[in-house]
Amino acid sequence: NAGVTQTPKFQVLKTGQSMTLQCAQDMNHNSMYWYRQDPGMGLRLIYYSASEGTTDKGEVPNGYNVSRLNKREFSLRLESAAPSQTSVYFCASKAGSNTEAFFGQGTRLTVV
């Protein structure tokens, strides 16, 4: 049982480059999330998708776009990476509104 799978695990980008972080879950969950984690800041929500076909902004959406490709997959895109986007990115999924979230292992992104 894979749970939540994120790819890639590590990435180094140059300022201005674009890339897409991939996330897939095999738990048939309705809701999916993207968080970033920075030292001393905890986990901050970037975007989420409450259900297939919907996406909403979280606390820190600027500089990011998302796509809920289908029920299983939720991708995060950086169109023009900036050093301030150096962070660890976590994808998570939940079955419904009042349930616990399960996390992937993270993508460590460095923008130079």
Residues between 14 and 33 that touch other proteins (CB under 8 A): 31, 33
d(CA 108, CA 18): 15
In the chain, count of helices (H) and strands (E)? 0, 11
CB of 69 to other proteins, least distance (A): 18
Sign of the alpha-carbon torsion through 78, 76, 39, 112? negative
d(CA 26, CA 29): 8
d(CA 67, CA 56): 11
CB of 9 to other proteins, least distance (A): 9
CB of 11 to other proteins, least distance (A): 15
Q: Which of 43, 69, 71, 72 binds other proteins (CB under 8 A)?
A: 43
* x/- track of binding to other proteins for residues 61-100 (CB under 8 A): -----------------------------x---x--xxxx
